[in-house]
Amino acid sequence: MTNIEWAELRVRDLALQERFYQELLDLEVLGGTDHSVELGVDGRTLLRLHADSSAQVSPQARPGLFHLAFLLPDAGRLGGWLARARQRGLHLEGASDHGVSEAIYLSDPEYNGIEVYADRERPRSQEVEMYTRRLDVAALLAKAPAWSGSSGLRLGHIHLRSLHAQDGKEWFDRLGMRLTVRYPGAEFYAADGYHHHFAVNEWGVGPAQPGVWAGLTGYGLSGPFEEAEVRDPWGHRVELSPASVSVG
């Protein structure tokens, strides 16, 4: 099985971003230095933050990260997380029913998009049908137990921005992923019958700007791969590893 093991962000304010993700998802500090930190759950690193005080921060759409998507084990856990997020006064930007999943959207203090979601049960052999409708938040909250922590949380997918949605096709072919869904201006790719491990959209994206920017710098994938470090079409560092060495 192919899995996204971790993602790496360049951040301008390490202390602020570390505190934000700890409060958002109850992530534990698993390691770090004066200039970096590793955050995760169940002893597994999910997020690596590296400080660069010279990094530029902007809400403007540009090639790179659209959002990191954190997957909870079920809708009950998502509802419990949402109730706690509201109690803590987190600014939520949207809530969508995608058919295959229920999702909540927000951003971190440096404008990195975040999705927190739970999948609906579906056979992996079933054709993927995705849409975007308003999520019934009241129903989600009504069936939610009290938040009991983030055990079982993992990175479900990464959604990228690019000048053209098709820019990743050869890359995802190389990873053994197939196109599962096409929206106007967006394409979704997955392995193993999942709805998507990656998406690429071109919604309002301008050309890359010079300089060092805060945002996604790399990610780790486990699956049917030889051990390797490569670059994706957007310049992100990608660590590939065989699925047998994946934890969890």
Contacts 24+ apart (CB under 8 A), 129-133: 129/99, 129/100, 129/181, 130/98, 130/99, 130/100, 130/180, 130/181, 130/183, 130/188, 130/195, 130/196, 131/97, 131/98, 131/99, 132/96, 132/97, 132/98, 133/96, 133/97, 133/98, 133/99
Identify the pLDDT of residue 245.
47
Q: How many domains does the chain have?
A: 1
Per-residue pLDDT tens, the chain, 248 aa: give them.
999 999 999 999 999 999 999 999 999 999 999 999 999 999 999 999 999 999 999 888 889 999 999 999 999 999 999 999 999 999 999 999 999 999 999 999 999 999 999 999 987 778 899 999 999 999 999 989 999 999 999 999 999 999 999 999 999 999 999 999 999 999 999 999 999 999 999 998 888 888 899 999 999 999 999 999 999 999 999 999 999 644 43
pTM of the model: 0.95
DSSP code of 110?
Answer: T
Identify the pLDDT of residue 246.
40
d(CA 164, CA 63) in angstroms, rounded, equals 10
CATH number of the domain enclosing 46: 3.10.180.10
Identify the pLDDT of residue 244.
66
The DSSP line for 143-205 is TPPPP---TT-EEEEEEEE-SSGGGGHHHHHHTT-EEEEEETTEEEEESTT-S-SEEEE-TT-
Identify the pLDDT of residue 105.
99
Residue reference for tokens 């790179």: 64
Domain span at residue 74 reads 3-245
